[in-house]
Amino acid sequence: MFFLAVDRATNKPLEPPSEFIVKVQDINDNPPEFLHGPYYARVPEMSNVGTSVMQVTATDADDPTYGNSARLVYSILQGQPYFSVEPQTGIIRTALPNMDREARQEYDVVIQAKDMGGHMGGLSGTTEVKITLTDVNDNPPKFPQSVYAMSVSEDKVSGEEVGRLKAKDPDLGENGLVSYRFIEGDGMTVFEITTDTDTREGVIKLRKPVDFETKRAYTLRVEASNTHLDPRFIAWGPYKDTATVKVMVEDADEPPAFMATSYSFEVEENAPDGTVVGRVHAKDTDVANNPVRYMIPRYTDVEQFFSVGPEDGIIKTTRPLDRETLPWHNISVSATEIGGHHQDTKVRVNIKVKDVNDNAPEFATQNEILVCENVSPGKLIETVSAVDKDEMVHRQYFHFSIAPEAVNNQNFSLKDNRDSTASIYVTRRGFSRMTQDVYFLPIEINDNGIPPMSSTNTLTIRVCSCDSKDTILSCNVEPYILPAGLSTGALIAILACIVILLAIVVLFVALRRQKKEPLIVFEEEDIRENIITYDDEGGGEEDTEAFDIATLQNPDGANGFLPRKDIKPELQYPMRPGGRPVANSVDVDDFIKTRINDADNDPTAPPYDSIQIYGYEGRGSIAGSLSSLESVTTDSDLDYDYLQSWGPRFKKLADLYGTKDSADDNS
């Protein structure tokens, strides 16, 4: 810092500037501060005395080099006697042994920092430290009670729950995990125990069903132990506990029980109805020991081959059985307790039908034997075998022989091979299909059973033509009649061609008939006479114009040919000259006859009468109106006598009007 002395009057310096050094002396005017508080710390429970928890640090803004203003000393204001703090470093340590988390888990500790080395007059600051004790496995599991009572009904099935028990462990997490097991008791094979991971309970379940009538109570010893151990605290063990479980079996109304899980019986086929097959037996397992009633469910014996005694359980046949139709009968018998809850139990009964030799043997196949016409005597032509629906016993075989009625035949012989087969040989030479093409050889087959059964079966032998190598060419007689070289296949092909040609001819004729049509085809019906509709409307006196000869003729087409409108002619013929009356003709009758004659002789017209269609309007009538309406209301001096000249078709009008007018005039 520089200072300068100046004259007040002149403001001029009196001497050169002088430098002064000013030293500010610190005083203790700033208290200590914990900049990061409050603090949180964790320490395991049961830690040894002096275990470090954490270190806290305070700061002081005063000059640490001058005096004791920034010299701090730490002390604990709250948290004793559990914790302590080192005065110089601020390290917090445990002060008591065996601090138990289960007794107290959290502690609030207040630490003070004071400057001036802790002497009187120093400033101070405080901070809060929240200390939590963490868990260790220092507690064994403990059952709340030494004996547990449970019960289970005898109708429960394997896997059902019997009861639960729980050993308490105040430790947390894996330190508190408990497992359960049976260590002794008379129900160790009947029950099992597992651990519920959510509730930490021991769950006792049935391993196999219990029976009240056999055993009514079980005693079990259960042990609960920690799964995770802390080596530091093993000496504090053992970390396990035991309890006794007594399980009482409750009585339930159970269905009857059969003495066997299934029954197997045998009965001979063809045995008369009422033959005893066997007996089933069931009893009530309850204490009441009620009687049992038996029955066969209908669905297991649909055809009701068997019956069962309702009280004694004896099964009998209701009709003779046939082993060849059904060798086994699998039925069920139901037992129901009388007087209980009508519960029933079913048991399987397998009944085998024993074989009786009641079926005669027969040929295994019914094929024909083919023999060449030139076969040599003594040649083996076939080896036959037989089948029998009955069972073949040991050393039983079929015996073959020619039937007595054919023993003396000179054509074939038989040799029994004594292995259920027989060989057929030819005994003569020279067979002819033209003479006889089929031979029947009756063979008797005996099954040698008890009782023996036999049957006569006919063997069919057909004579065929063969080549020099004994290859069969044909076994039919027809080829001898047909031309040489024509086989059966060729004959079939020829017949097929003939049938196809006939079908084509029939189809062609049918199509030709369908194409014939009438000269004129009407869509709905064939009308021989047509009524023509005119599109013009008349009114009043103009009605009469329709009857004027001028309206029935076409002046514009008088000299031309008027075509038909009902058909479209292919050719047009000119009208005969002089065949049409002139336009001024008043003979309507002649006009109409002429038109009819033209239509009849017209080659383009249909072959029947038709009223002609006129597609033009008349130009007026020289007769005027013929309406009777006007004649009634007005007087008319017209002369209608000219109607007499119009022909017989207008005679009635001429008589009515002409006569009346004449009479009026005479009066």
Contact 71, 88 (CB under 8 A): no
pLDDT at 571 over 60: no
pLDDT(210) > 80: yes
* Cβ neighbours of residue 39 closer than 8 Å, sequence gap 6 or more: 54, 56, 127, 128, 129, 130
Range 55-74 average pLDDT: 81
How would you classify the pairing of strands 18-19 and 454-466? unpaired
Task: Looking at mean pLDDT, say which of 94-108, 623-637, 649-663 comes out highest.
Answer: 94-108
What's the CATH fold of domain 147-250?
Immunoglobulin-like (2.60.40)
**pLDDT tens for residues 296-328?**
999 999 999 999 999 999 999 999 999 989 999
Domain limits, the chain: 33-134, 147-250, 258-354, 362-474
72 touches 114 (CB < 8 A): yes
CA distance 124 to 117: 10
Domains 147-250 and 258-354 share a fold: yes
In this prediction the pTM is 0.44
33-134, CATH topology level: Immunoglobulin-like (2.60.40)
User: Was domain 362-474 assigned CATH 2.40.50.100?
Assistant: no
- Burial status of residue 615 (CB atoms within 10 A of its CB: 0-12, 13-18, 19 or more): exposed
* DSSP per-residue string spanning 257-295: EESSSEEEEEEETTPPTT-EEEE--EE--STT---EEEE
Residue 549's CB is within 10 A of a number of other CB atoms, namely 19
The answer to whether residue 610 scores a pLDDT higher than 50 is yes
Region 373-382: what's the mean pLDDT?
A: 89
Amino acid code (one letter) for 556? D
Work out the average pLDDT over 396-412: 89
Half-sphere exposure of 590 (CA within 13 A, CB side): 13
Query: For residue 653, is pLDDT > 60?
Result: yes
pLDDT band at residue 115 using 50, 70 and 90 as cut-offs: confident
What lies within 8 Å, CB to CB, of 530 at 6+ separation is 566, 610, 611
| pLDDT recorded at residue 591 | 79
Rounded Cα distance between 72 and 89, Å, is 9
Sign of CA dihedral 297, 298, 299, 303: positive
The 3-state DSSP composition of the chain as helix, strand, coil percent (nearest 5) reads 15, 30, 55
Average pLDDT of the chain is: 81
SS3 493: helix
Q: What is the pLDDT of residue 472?
A: 85
Asked if residue 324 lies in contact with residue 281, where contact means CB atoms within 8 angstroms, the answer is no
pLDDT at 219 over 80: yes
pLDDT digits over 186-206, tens only? 999 999 999 998 899 999 999
Quick one: what percent of the chain has pLDDT higher than 70? 78
pLDDT at residue 632, rounded to an integer? 45
Q: What is the DSSP letter of 576?
A: P
Can you tell me the distance from the alpha carbon of 279 to that of 294, in angstroms, rounded to the nearest whole number?
A: 11
The band of 440, judged by pLDDT with boundaries at 50, 70 and 90, is very high
Place of tokens 């009187």: 120
Task: Say if residues 605 and 596 touch (Cβ distance below 8 Å).
Answer: no
| Intra-chain end-to-end CA distance of the chain, in Å | 178
- Distance in angstroms (rounded) separating the CA atoms of residues 149 and 165: 10
Angle at 400 between CA 394 and CA 404, to 5 degrees: 140
Does pLDDT of 520 surpass 70?
A: no
What single DSSP character describes residue 448? -
Q: Are 142 and 167 in contact (CB under 8 A)?
A: yes
pLDDT at 106 over 90: yes
**Structure confidence at residue 18 (pLDDT):** 78
Average pLDDT, integer, range 164-191 = 92
Class level of CATH domain 258-354: mainly beta
